[in-house]
């Protein structure tokens, strides 16, 4: 075997010699990769142009300003009717996706953390019950859960005329959940102002309590004092201003309820199914996170005199979070993307509106799909960005 030294003695041809050089090789690989990527992109672009031309279509977003000519049954945030534009329809869909995804993330997180802790319970019955629920739920596709809950709501709940009635204000029916809408009256701004002031006060109090602890070592029950202050101040202001709030109760008109706030069965079904399905994965992540903190940490905390609740707060949770957060982020992304299954039960999310009916009516496949993809991409990047920032903040310093 020839001994290769720095210069002169290499008998291989120049290309082989270049390939054998570590630096040169990585440059070559990068150039080739870039060439392939741009080649594929160019091919796709050419395909689009040629094929759209062949069927006489042009690539344009002008259709967004045309009237949509279809109804959307669930638009809680913005005014919408069939004379609104496709752009508005897209906005309704995007907001509905955002609504179900954010509500789902909140509920899934709460349920997931509770089940994850219960799964570690020493109580055999609690532990096993949660275990069975988790294993059953997360091994059945989420689409079936959505259809199941939707079916349950639509077929098992009574029709509006026989609605389940709670105190003549809350009505549970197969057309949705209805409850009174708050209507602020003159003077309500006083209550709102007092509430805002008390929140500012509580934040200041929290800072002050921290400072007092740093300086004198005294600790206050900050959580209870804060909650009490906000509730008490707001209640007093509410009574003093003469209770400036009335409720618009839903009432049965014809075949359905009118007035109040209505939560559609499609939203309930999608929200619940996505939440409990995702919460099962979160529960396992939380359990793994807590178990990943070695028992020695608990022992060391006990040995210096910390009580179990303080040990959890100061020692276990800060360490468990760094294990929990990265996989938690991907569960949030999953939930958001799974919300596109809304179309199965007719919840009008971004796929059902712009990516569904608008697409059918205008034939703008490229444009509508690009809007849908962009929507999910932006949501996902926002979630991922936030979780990365949080994870960096929690990371351990080593070396």
Partner 1 sequence: MSDVASPGSKPGFSSDVMIQMTGVHKWFGEFHVLKDINLTVHKGERIVICGPSGSGKSTLIRCINRLEEHQKGRIVVDGTELTSDLKHIDTIRREVGIVFQQFNLFPHLTALENLSLALIWVRKMPKAKAEEIAMNYLDRVHIPEQAQKYPGQLSGGQQQRVAIARSLCMNPKIMMFDEPTSALDPEMIKEVLDVMVELAESGMTMIVVTHEMGFATAVANRVIFMDFGEIIEQNDPHNFFENPKSDRTKLFLSQILHH
Q: Given the rule CB under 8 A, which residues bind partner 1?
A: 213-219, 294, 296-297, 299-307, 310, 314-315, 318-319, 322, 396-399
Which CB sits closer to partner 1, 6 or 305?
305
Question: Dihedral of the CA atoms 391, 322, 140, 372 (nearest 10)?
Answer: 0
Which CB sits closer to partner 1, 334 or 391?
391
Tell me whether strands 251-253 and 256-258 are parallel, antiparallel or unpaired.
antiparallel
Contact 341, 140 (CB under 8 A): no
Q: How far, in Å, CA of 190 to CA of 244, rounded?
A: 9
Which CB sits closer to partner 1, 108 or 290?
290
Task: Report in angstroms how near the CB of residue 210 gets to partner 1 at its nearest.
Answer: 9
| Eight-state DSSP code of residue 161 | G
Which CB sits closer to partner 1, 102 or 319?
319
Nearest to 314 by CA among 300, 325, 328: 300
| Eight-state DSSP code of residue 66 | S
C-alpha distance from residue 173 to each of 147, 159, 201, 269, 346 (Å): 17, 6, 42, 13, 18
Task: Report in angstroms how near the CB of residue 343 gets to partner 1 at its nearest.
Answer: 44
Half-sphere CA count of 44, side-chain side, radius 13 A: 7
Which CB sits closer to partner 1, 75 or 311?
311
Task: Report in angstroms how near the CB of residue 301 gets to partner 1 at its nearest.
Answer: 8
Which CB sits closer to partner 1, 118 or 286?
286
Task: Report in angstroms how near the CB of residue 123 gets to partner 1 at its nearest.
Answer: 19
Task: Report in angstroms how near the CB of residue 110 gets to partner 1 at its nearest.
Answer: 24
Output the six-digit token pair for 99.
């609504």
Q: Give the residue ranges of DSSP H helices in the chain.
A: 14-20, 22-54, 86-118, 124-138, 142-151, 188-216, 222-240, 265-292, 295-303, 308-311, 317-338, 359-362, 365-394
Q: How far, in Å, CA of 28 to CA of 38, rounded?
A: 16
Contact 242, 187 (CB under 8 A): yes
Which CB sits closer to partner 1, 167 or 397?
397
Which CB sits closer to partner 1, 316 or 343?
316
Sign of torsion over alpha carbons 283, 285, 286, 292: positive
């Amino acid at each position: 075997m020839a001994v290769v030294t720095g210069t002169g003695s290499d008998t291989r041809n120049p290309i082989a010699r270049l390939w054998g050089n570590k630096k040169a090789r990585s440059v070559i690989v990068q150039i080739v990769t870039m060439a392939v990527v741009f080649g594929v992109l160019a091919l796709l672009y050419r395909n689009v142009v040629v094929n759209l031309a062949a069927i006489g279509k042009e690539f344009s977003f002008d259709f967004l300003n045309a009237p949509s000519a279809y109804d959307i049954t669930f638009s809680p945030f913005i005014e919408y009717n069939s004379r609104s534009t496709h752009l508005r329809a897209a906005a309704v869909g995007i907001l509905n996706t955002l609504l179900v995804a954010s509500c789902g993330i909140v509920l899934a997180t709460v349920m997931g953390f509770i089940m994850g802790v219960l799964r570690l319970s020493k109580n055999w019955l609690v532990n096993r019950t949660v275990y069975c629920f988790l294993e059953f739920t997360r091994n059945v596709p989420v689409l079936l859960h959505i259809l199941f809950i939707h079916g349950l709501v639509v077929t098992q709940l009574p029709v509006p005329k026989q609605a389940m009635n709670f105190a003549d204000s809350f009505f549970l029916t197969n057309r949705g959940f209805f409850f009174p809408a708050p209507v602020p009256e003159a003077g309500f701004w006083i209550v709102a102002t007092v509430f805002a002031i008390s929140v500012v006060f509580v934040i200041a109090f929290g800072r002050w309590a921290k400072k007092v602890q740093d300086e004198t070592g005294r600790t206050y029950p900050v959580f209870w004092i804060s909650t009490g202050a906000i509730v008490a101040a707001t209640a007093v202001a509410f009574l003093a201003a003469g209770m400036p709030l009335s409720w618009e109760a839903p009432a049965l008109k014809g075949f359905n309820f009118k007035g109040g706030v209505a939560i559609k069965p499609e939203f309930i079904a999608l929200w619940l199914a996505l939440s409990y399905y995702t919460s099962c994965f979160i529960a396992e992540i939380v359990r793994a996170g807590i178990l990943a903190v070695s028992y020695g940490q608990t022992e060391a905390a006990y040995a210096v005199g910390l009580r179990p609740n303080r040990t959890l707060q100061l020692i276990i949770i800060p360490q468990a979070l760094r294990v929990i957060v990265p996989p938690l982020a991907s569960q949030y992304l999953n939930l958001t993307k799974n919300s596109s299954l809304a179309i199965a039960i007719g919840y009008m999310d971004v796929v059902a509106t712009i990516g569904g009916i608008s697409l059918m009516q205008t034939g703008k496949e490229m444009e509508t799909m690009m809007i849908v993809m962009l929507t999910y991409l932006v949501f996902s990047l926002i979630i991922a960005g936030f979780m990365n920032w949080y994870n960096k903040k929690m990371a351990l310093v080593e070396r």
